[in-house]
């Protein structure tokens, strides 16, 4: 895909996402729990978009989405934000991640440089 194509797809996606018939989780906290170790991750939707049900854990296990809540976790829990990267950031992602973003997907803020 050329840079112009990516930019066009990105702009189309941004222009239509508010009206898109997808789940709007903004303001919602999600808990992901590993099925192998005790690791967990709390995330918060900052933008409207698609998030994965499973994430890879450092231990090689799968972190599954197990809970959703509007209530913030205790302050000692680190919250990872789901965000829509800018066009420039999207350009620098791997092809599979870029396709995920162009299809309305979100990425964890701490995975962006
Ligand atoms: Zn694990």
Distance CA 21, CA 92 (A): 28
Q: Tens of pLDDT along 20-78?
A: 999 999 999 999 999 999 999 999 999 999 999 999 999 999 999 999 999 999 999 99
Number of domains in the chain: 1
B/e letters for 22-40, b = 16+ CB within 10 Å, e = fewer, are eeebeebbbbbbbeeeeee
95-101 mean pLDDT: 96
86-90 mean pLDDT: 97
Ligand 1 centroid distance, CA of 56 (Å): 8
Residue 57 structural domain: 3-111
Judged against a pLDDT cut of 80, whether residue 89 lies above it is answered with: yes
Ligand 1 centroid distance, CA of 39 (Å): 5
Other beta carbons within 10 angstroms of residue 83's beta carbon come to 19
Ligand 1 centroid distance, CA of 43 (Å): 16
Confidence of residue 1 (pLDDT cuts 50, 70, 90): confident
């Amino acid at each position: 895909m050329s840079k112009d194509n990516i930019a066009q797809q990105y702009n189309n996606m941004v222009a239509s996402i508010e009206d898109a018939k997808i789940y709007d989780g903004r303001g919602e906290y999600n808990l992901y729990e590993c099925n192998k170790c005790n690791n967990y991750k709390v995330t918060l939707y900052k933008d409207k978009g698609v998030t994965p049900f499973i994430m890879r854990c450092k231990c090689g296990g799968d972190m599954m989405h197990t809970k959703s809540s509007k209530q913030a976790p205790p302050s000692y829990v680190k919250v990872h934000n789901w965000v829509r990267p800018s066009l420039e950031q999207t350009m620098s992602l791997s092809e599979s991640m870029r396709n995920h973003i162009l299809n309305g997907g979100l990425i964890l803020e701490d995975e962006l440089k």
